Chains A and B, each alone.
Chain A
C-alpha cells in the first residue's frame, strides 16, 4: 500500500486535493480538466512499479460445431421464443401465418427489408383487427420514414426485421441497425418482434460474433423476449420490451 491508508475517506468527505474548492466550482470545463489531471496523477502514483500482466487467450475462439443451426434453434426456443425453420421459398408464408396467428394488424417495416419478406406481410389478413381497430382485412405496413415518434411507435402492434448475426451457443440475435433492421427503438417499443435469420448469419459462439460486429454501429443483442426475475426469482416474460419474440431461420 503506497500511502492510501492514512488518506482521505472517499464518499465521506472530499479528498484533500479538492478541499478548499467551493462545491460550485466543480462545474465547467476547467474544473473537469483539473479533476482529470488529479485522477490521472493518482493513477500514476498508485500503479508505479507494478508489473504488467500478459493476457493469455487459451479459451475457444472458434468451434467447428456440427449442427450449428439446430443448436441455434434449440437455444432460442429455450428462452420461450417461437422458432421456425423454413426454406427460402417458404419464408413469406411463414411470415404471413405468424402475423395472422398473432392478430398483428399494424407492422413496422424497416428500410431494406427483402421483397419476399415484405410480400409475406402484404399477404397477411387478420380476421378481426382486435388491437388497432383498423378493421378486418389486410395487415398494414408502417414505414419509419419520416421517423415515427415514440407515441406513434407505441401505437403499432409489431415489427419485422432481419439481423446482423445469430449466436448458436447462447441463442442470441444481434441487430446492428443496418439494412432490414432500422433504428434501435423499432424492435423495442412494439409488443411483438418477428426476426428473420439467414443460416449464413449464424455463428457457433460469442467470440465469432464479436469478430463479425462493428462497434461503431449501435448494437442490440437479443436473447429471447424481455424478461424479469425480480419478484421471488419467478421468470416473467415481457416487462418493457416486446413480450413475444418469433424467429424464422431461413435455410
Chain B
C-alpha cells in the first residue's frame, strides 16, 4: 500500500491537483452522491438530540482542558495502562514509532499482522516500514482493503474508498485478491452484498490465524487506562479479540481525562461521522485483557508543535469524524487525493501544514484550499473554528517576493491617513492611464475581473470640500 506520508511528498500544490480532479466526472459523481448522503443522515440524527449544542460545548471544553493538562493526563494514562498489565512506549516521531512496532512484531517471531483502520499508522507510513522489515501488514477494514489491493491512497477519513464505485471495486477484487490471500469467488458480481461477502471470505482465515494485530484508537481514558475503538464491520473486534498480541499506535491528543467523558463523545462521534445514532460496534479494553499481550505506542510526530500554536492548537480537538469533509464545497469537487495527505478536507487543510510544516508546495497551498464559507465550523462536533485557523496559517505560509513587497507597500500607505490621502489624490489624477487589463503575471487577476474604477475624488476629500454635502 502506498498511503504513507512519503508518497505524498513532491506532490503538486492543491490547485493543480484539484484542477485535474474536477475533470474526472466519475469522481465528481461519486463524491457528490456520497457526501450528500452522509450529510443528510448526519443532519437527521443531530436534530434528534435536544442538547446537541450543550454536548458540543462540553466536547470542546473537555478536549481543551485535556490539552492544557496533557502532561499530567498522559502520565496518569501510562500508570493506569501499566497497572492493568499493558506496556507503554513513547515515540517522538514517525521513525521511532515504526521502529518500536517492528521490534515488537519481530519479538513475537511473526511475519504478518492484521490491522484495524488507523489514520495515525498511515500518517507514519507504518505498512511500508514493516514491509521493509519483512513484515506484511494486512488491512482489514473493507475500504482500506480496497485501497490496499488497488495500491491506492485513502481519499476520505471515514470512507477511504469513496472515490471508487462498485464496478471498480469488483475489478480490484478479481485482479488482486489472489495476490494477498484467498482469491475472489468465481463469477463475482458488483452487488455491494456480493463484494462484502468476498471480503468476508478473503479475510476470515486471516483473522483466525494471525497472531499479532495493530490498531489505533478513538479515545484513551487517562483515569482508567481504557482504550476505545468505534467501528462498523467487526474487523476491529476480530483484530482486538483474536490475536495473542495487540499493538495500538495512538496520537497523544486522543486522550480524555475520565471514563465519564465518554458519555459526551459516544454521542458526538457516531452522529457526526456515519450519521447513525450509534455505530454497530464499540470496543473498550483496559490493559492486557483475556490473556492478550498489550502494547500502547504514544505518538507525538508533530502534535506538540501544533500544541504550541495558540490559534492552531484547536485542530488537536479533532475526533476524526469527517463531518467537515461532507459539507465542504471544495472537498466535494476536488476529492481527497488533492490534499496530498492522509488528512483530507477542511481538517486536513489545517492539520497537515501544522504537522508537516509548510516547506513543500502542497503543504503551503493547503491553507488556501477553502472558500472560508464556514460550513465546516458549523458541523464540527468539537467546534474547531477551521476558517480562523486557515486565515491564521495563510499569514504564516510562505509568500512570493513580489506579493510580500506589494503587501508591504500597501501597509505603508494604509498605515497613515495622510499617506493614504496623498496616494488617493495621485491615483485620481492618473486614473486615465489605468489599463483595462494588467500586464504580465498580473493578467491572471484581470482575466476574470475588471479593475475597479478610480473615482475623480475620494470620499474624504469630497466631504471636506462640501462639508458633508451641505455646501
Contacts and interface: CB of A to CB of B under 8 A. Distances in A.
Interface in A154-187: 154, 167, 169-172, 177, 183-185
A239 B263 contact: no
B25 interface: no
Given A39-B304, A210-B262, A216 B55 contact: no
A230 B142 contact: yes
Contact of A40 (B68, B74, B290): B74
A65 interface: no
Given A183-B290, A227-B280, A231-B166, A239 B233 contact: yes
A241 B84 CA distance: 27
A134 interface: no
A167 to B, nearest CB: 8
Interface string A194-222: 00000000000011001100011011111
A56 B62 CA distance: 9
Interface stretch (A45-53, A82-90, A99-107): A45-53
Interface in A8-25: 8-12, 14-15, 17-18, 23-24
A5 B302 CA distance: 12
Interface residues of A, number: 91
B99 A23 contact: yes
A98 B11 CA distance: 57
A67 interface: no
A216 B80 CA distance: 10
A118 B276 CA distance: 34
Contacts of A132: none
B368 interface: no
Interface in B220-252: 221, 224, 226, 232-235, 237-238, 240-242, 252
Contact of B277 (A171, A211, A230, A234): A171
A222 B281 contact: yes
A206 B67 CA distance: 24
A10 B305 contact: yes
A145 interface: no
A51 B232 CA distance: 38
Contacts of B71: 40, 43-44
A115 interface: no
Chain B, interface size category, equals 35 or more
A93 interface: no
B121 interface: no
A230 B93 contact: no
Interface string A101-138: 00000000000000000000000000000000000000
A153 to B, nearest CB: 8
A198 to B, nearest CB: 20
B300 to A, nearest CB: 5
A47 B51 contact: no
B61 interface: yes
A238 B196 contact: yes
Given A38-B92, A43-B71, A11 B233 contact: no
Contacts of B266: 206, 210, 221
B95 A225 contact: no
A151 interface: yes
Nearest to A1: B309
A155 to B, nearest CB: 11
Nearest to B267: A206
A40 B142 CA distance: 37
Interface string B34-77: 10011000000000001100110110011011011111001100
B301 interface: yes
Contacts, number: 297
Contacts of B95: 14, 23, 26
A75 B203 CA distance: 31
Given A58-B58, A218-B285, A227-B232, A241 B280 contact: yes
B280 A11 contact: no
A170 B278 contact: yes
Given A45-B308, A219-B284, A226-B280, A55 B62 contact: yes
Contacts of A38: 92
A69 B341 CA distance: 46
B192 A46 contact: no
B92 A53 contact: no
A8 B359 CA distance: 10
B177 interface: no
A61 B54 CA distance: 11
A4 B308 contact: yes
Nearest to A149: B208
A209 B413 CA distance: 63
Given A55-B65, A220-B282, A221-B281, A18 B92 contact: yes
A46 B300 CA distance: 13
Interface of A: 1-5, 7-12, 14-15, 17-18, 23-24, 26-27, 31-33, 35-36, 38-40, 42-47, 50-61, 75, 78-79, 150-151, 154, 167, 169-172, 177, 183-185, 188-189, 206-207, 210-211, 215-216, 218-234, 236, 238-242
Nearest first, the 3 closest Cβ-Cβ pairs linking A and B are A241-B234, A10-B302, A9-B357
26 contacts: A9-B302, A10-B301, A15-B92, A43-B252, A52-B65, A52-B69, A58-B57, A75-B277, A169-B277, A183-B290, A206-B267, A210-B262, A210-B266, A215-B259, A219-B283, A225-B280, A226-B281, A227-B233, A227-B280, A230-B161, A231-B142, A231-B196, A232-B30, A233-B34, A236-B192, A241-B234
